[in-house]
Amino acid sequence: MKVLLRNPSRQVEVDGPLEVALLLQQLDLNREAHLVIEDGTLVPNDKILGKDAVVEIRPVISGGSA
């Protein structure tokens, strides 16, 4: 599957099918700090993503010290 990552923007290939929670774990990303988006909407952690899926993993942490 194709996985779009942010900050900086880049794309990686990951073997599917794979559960969303395991995808985050495989990429060493904290589920509390990321959303997984497919076709413009959220996908839950227990969804199995197909081998041809295209997903974005969006970080949610932001902000300066102000």
| C-alpha triplet 60, 54, 8: angle, nearest 5° | 45
Site string for other proteins, 5-34 (x = CB under 8 A): -xx----------------------xxxxx
Provide the minimum distance between the beta carbon of 13 and other proteins in the complex, in angstroms, as a whole number: 22
Q: At 26, is the secondary structure helix, strand, or coil?
A: helix
Question: 13, 15, 44, 52: which one contacts other proteins (CB under 8 A)?
Answer: 44
33: left (phi over 0), alpha (psi -120 to 50) or beta: alpha
Candidates 27, 45, 48, 50: give the one binding other proteins (CB under 8 A).
45
